[in-house]
Amino acid sequence: MTAPLKPADQPTPGRQRTPVSAANASTSRSGPPYPAPGWTVAWGHNPQNPSGQNTVVVTTAAELDQTLDTLAVTGPYLIDIYPGRWAKGQPAPPHGFQLVWGHRYRAGITWLGPDAATGVDPTLPPWPAPIDHDQDAASPRRTRLTPAQVRAALHEYLHTGTRPTTITWTG
């Protein structure tokens, strides 16, 4: 059973974010994540938060799983995951991910770091239609993974601090 997000963290409709792709992700991001103060999971719109989004800071894989499980219930969402905290006007975090999360059968992950790329399972055929999420819709080419594969890649990242090797990356 997942714990509900705190009221301040509940998704609210609002501003549109530009989904990133390997083509428009920063290639200047580098370095491993740092464990303190953890990793930020950000989604939706929240004008009271310095980042402009709803955020939860996680420090363990179990906390990340709980957050993803909770968001999957009300998703799909376009989610950012990055080390530390961030506020509007600050330099972009050094690396991280953008996810399409909350669809029962499919998920998407884009690495926002050196050699930015989109994760895929080449044995999984494209989903037959774009997957709607809170910001827009994800192309079938961006959702060529299952939620379990994305979760495993995120766990690997939390342990290694580098781009996961458990999935195939395409530019």
Average pLDDT over residues 8-13: 37
Nearest to 24 by CA among 75, 92, 87, 86: 92
The residue with tokens 């827009």 is: 136
- Given a cut of 80, whether residue 32 has pLDDT beyond it is no
How many Å from the N-terminal Cα to the C-terminal Cα in the chain?
Answer: 37
Q: Where are the domains of the chain?
A: 30-170
- The tens digit of pLDDT for each residue in 61-86 reads 999 999 999 999 999 999 999 998 88
Cα angle, residue 31 at apex, residues 34 and 141 outer, rounded to 5°: 105
pLDDT at residue number 36:
53
pLDDT at residue number 140:
95
- The tens digit of pLDDT for each residue in 72-123 reads 999 999 999 999 888 778 887 878 999 999 999 999 999 998 889 999 999 9
pTM higher than the cut 0.75: yes
